[in-house]
Structure 1
Amino acid sequence: MAENSSKQNTIKEKVSLEGVGLHTGKAVTLTFCPAEENTGYVFRRTDLEGSPEIEADVSYVVNTQRGTNLEKNGVKIQTSEHVLASCVGLGIDNIIIELNASEPPIMDGSSKFFVEALEKAGIEEQDAEREEFVVNEIICYRDEETGSEIIAMPANEYQVTTMVDFGTKVLGTQNASINNLSEFKTEIADSRTFSFLHELETLLEHGLIKGGDLNNAIVYVDKEISEDTMKKLRVAFNRDKISIKPNGILDNLTLHHANEAARHKLLDVLGDLALVGTRIKGKIIANKPGHHINTEFAKKLSKIIKAEKRNNVPKIDLSQIPIMDVNDIMETLPHRPPFLLVDKIYELTDTHVIGMKNVTMNEPFFVGHFPGKPVMPGVLQVEAMAQTGGILALKSVPDPENYLTYFMKIDNVKFKQQVVPGDTLIFKLELLAPIRRGICQMQGYAFVNGKLATEAILMAQIVKSK
């Protein structure tokens, strides 16, 4: 179930880093920019016409070869996970990530430099409440082919454990855990990406690690190195000499942690699960994780979260005194019976409203709409939602009685349940973005008998009436 917990965060000011993309080898500048409440994580390609944006959403994952790659309307972002992990690890909810190429800079193959940049920019609390997905039951995803498995279970914090087993002598079984995101910066952020020699040879042959040098990837030597391969490695990494350390890694660097590979896999899990778009409250156990299973699990979580949001019937005590009754509503809205379709308002904040309508046998539309089996017309359910949303929209002006709200657009309308005489309709509308220039975008839901009856995205304009 989704619930609110603490405030959302963004950064105080812009901050930039420069480097090269690991797979493209292209020079790239990444700029973190502050973002408004409820923005989430958004990538912006400043090198393309119109600076198109891609939300960090699991529905945009196109492939997971050597990283989690996103694409929307032909615009691509490659290897998104290390940047996203740094945002999650620092508790940032809203941020625009500007890039002048398709791939963020690899830096040293970890999230360390992104964390440093974000801390330099400073983290700022916002007014909106943070939404959390609370894991109330075990959720599991297993890849039968690889034996990889990810489980989410209830816990008081967002916790992650990764267990890796590569079946090689040089890198056997390793585990890594964090019990709180506050541990990310010191325990996980500096853990670098890694590769096995046999993978490296394939990548070199296919020209896939143009930006690679031996300072941004740990290379585990899982086979004998031929002189031919040594020569290729020296050329690829622009080094006169390369050798193997006693611990089985190339001699380019020293491990930051004995279990650095498992910690980096944990970093990847955090980055990939960021694509769910909602903070998680629960424990994730990932056995043999990888970008494919991470993103498949993220898709499963995302579906569950969306279903819960849709069926998240507001818990309203209908016997309590409403904050607006029908007379108060008529002072705000220009509608009058028989076309006033909302009776009471129970909650009203800057970002959401909850209202109610009792559907009686005396409704004038029942006379001609399936009179033998009366059903409330779906379009009137949408109109009732819109009237409730009008109350929310008009809250943004000091003198609502002098304004009107007009429909501009209705999207994604779905009718799920019939509404009949005797039913009580509960409406919930939430702002999808701050009201700008009088334009109000809302996600609307209508519930009946504890189930979702109707949903739609509504856009309205607030216009002065006098």
Structure 2
Amino acid sequence: MQKSIKHSAQCSGMTITGKFQTAVTFFPAPPDTGIVFIRDDLPGKPQIECRAEYASADSRWTSLMKNTIHIEHTEHLLAAITGLGIDNLKIHLNSSHVPVVSQFSCHDFTNALLQAEPVIQHLPKKYLTVTKPQWIFDSFTFEGECYDNILIALPAAEPTFTYLLDYPNKQLPTQLAHYKLTPDSNFVSDLSPARSYIMDFEYDLVEGLIGSMIDQCLVLSNDKNNKLRWDNEPARHKLVDLLGDLATIGIPVKGHFIGIRTGHKTNIRMAKKLIEAFGGDCR
């Protein structure tokens, strides 16, 4: 069955650019509403529905844009909503940015939604179902060498996510994370605390993008003891990003997603491809 929340809840924090405070407030929504963002700071309070057609991504974060209205840095918030199985929600913002919370994890969003008391609604949940394999191939260059990455979607009875993290320079050891989103799984403890991270050699580049918010990042180096919450915390956070990016489809997806060295751009390309392939058969 579909799910919403009983009452409102709020999360606040700095924008990802570190320039000002911002907040999101969650409100219940009727069945079949989906996830809707509302810009309270703009005249007429324009809405942006969570749909892949409005999604775009760069190497650092994902955004939604409808006409000239945009919402920045959506992936962690949408991962929390997906992880808790919430289908219908109105999200009011006082700026164009979703706030950064809990060291770039989605844990605070998850806790706020739990405090708002998720509630079962009277209509069946709708799914986009992967009925035949789909894939996105891409590549990147590192130190003059070309490396492949791939995101595969396979038919599966439950939403399932696997990520293989494999850096060419092995500054992080190759690691695997796997998660099946079922009523018995525990997103709150298993994925939502997984923090975003950067490598030490990226520090200056990322600081130029996000300024003071670099202090919230987990900075990893093979020259020091990285205090991780799990040995595979970086791969787990890649699953958080994958869940959040695929949520731009607008409804849950039944399939097994296997990512190898992939990121936001690949995830959003897959979301758009799945809508094109299976969007007319949502049930």
TM-score (norm 1): 0.56
Q: Deviations over 1:18-46 (max 9, x none)?
A: 21112243201111111111111111111
2:105 to 91, 110, 121: 110
Amino acid at match of 2:42: L
Contact between 1:162 and 1:286, CA under 8 Å: does it hold in 2? yes
User: How many angstroms does 1:84 deviate by?
Assistant: 0.2
In structure 2, what residue type is equivalent to 1:84? L
Select which of 197, 202, 208 maps to 2:200. Answer: 197
For residues 259 and 267 of structure 1, the distance between their equivalents in structure 2, rounded to whole angstroms, comes to 13
- Aligned residue for 1:33, secondary structure, equals strand
- Corresponding residue of 1:210: 211
Alpha-carbon distance, 1:302 to partner: 0.9
1:121-157 Cα distance to aligned partner (Å, 9 max, x none): 0011111211112222222221145512111112221
Contact 2:22-2:98 within 8 A present in 1 as well: yes
Preserved CA contact (<8 Å) 2:129 2:155: yes
- Helix, strand or coil for the counterpart of 1:129? coil
Structure 1 stretches of 5 or more lacking a match?
A: 1-6, 223-243, 313-466
RMSD: 1.8
Distance 1:210 1:50, change over 3 A: farther
Instruction: Name the structure 2 match of 1:90.
Output: 84
SS of match in other structure, 2:195: coil
Q: Distance in 2 between matches of 1:147 and 1:78?
A: 28
Pick from 260, 264, 267 the counterpart of residue 291 of structure 1.
Answer: 264
Report the Cα distance in structure 2 between the residues aligned to 1:57 and 1:307, rounded to whole angstroms.
Answer: 14
The verdict on how the C-alpha distance between 1:62 and 1:294 changes in structure 2, with shifts beyond 3 A counting, is closer
CA distance in 1, matches of 2:181, 2:33: 24
Matched, 1:57 2:51: yes
Partner in structure 2 of residue 188 of structure 1: 191
Q: Describe the superposition over 1:262-300 as per-residue Cα deviations: whole angstroms up to 9, x where unpaired.
A: 000000000000011121122111111200000001110
Partner of 1:276: 249
Letter in 1 for 2:236: R
Query: What one-letter code is carried by the residue in structure 2 that aligns with 1:187?
Result: D
Aligned 8 A contact 2:128 2:281 in 1: no
Letter in 2 for 1:155: A
Distance (whole Å) between structure 2 residues aligned to residue 193 and residue 210 of structure 1: 16
Is the Cα–Cα contact under 8 Å of residues 59 and 263 in structure 2 kept in the other structure?
A: no
Give the Cα separation in 2 of the matches to 1:138 and 1:213: 38
Instruction: Tell me how far apart the structure 2 counterparts of residues 169 and 306 of structure 1 sit (CA, whole Å).
Output: 39
Q: Aligned partners of 1:23 and 1:86: how far apart in 2?
A: 21
Q: Post-superposition shift, 1:74?
A: 1.0
Q: Which has the higher contact order (CA 8 A, sep 6+)?
A: 2
Paired with 2:18 and 2:40, the residues of 1 have a C-alpha distance of: 17
Give the counterpart of 1:138 among 121, 129, 133: 133
Give the residue type in structure 2 aligned to 1:194. Answer: Y
**1:179 aligned partner:** 180
The whole-number CA distance in structure 1 between the counterparts of 2:280 and 2:38 is 29
Q: Is the 8 A contact 2:64 2:70 kept in 1?
A: yes
1:168-210 deviations in Å (ceiling 9; x for gaps): 3431311101123423221110000111223220133x3x213
SS in 1 for 2:270: helix
Any stretches of 5+ residues in structure 2 without a counterpart? 141-146
Return the index of the structure with the highest Cα Rg.
Answer: 1
SS in 2 for 1:209: helix
What pairs with 1:29-428 in structure 2 (closer than 5 Å)? 29-107=23-101, 108-145=103-140, 147-181=148-182, 182-204=185-207, 206=208, 208-214=209-215, 216-221=216-221, 246-247=224-225, 249=226, 254-308=227-281
2:262 aligned counterpart, secondary structure: coil
Partners of 2:91 and 2:212 in 1: CA distance = 20
User: Quick one: percent identity of the two aligned structures?
Assistant: 34
**SS at structure 2 position matched to 1:190:** coil
Are the aligned partners of 1:16 and 1:32 in contact in 2 as well (CA < 8 Å)? Answer: yes
1:263 aligned counterpart, secondary structure: helix
Partner of 2:143: none
SS at match of 2:169: coil
Contact 2:18 2:213 in 1 (8 A): no
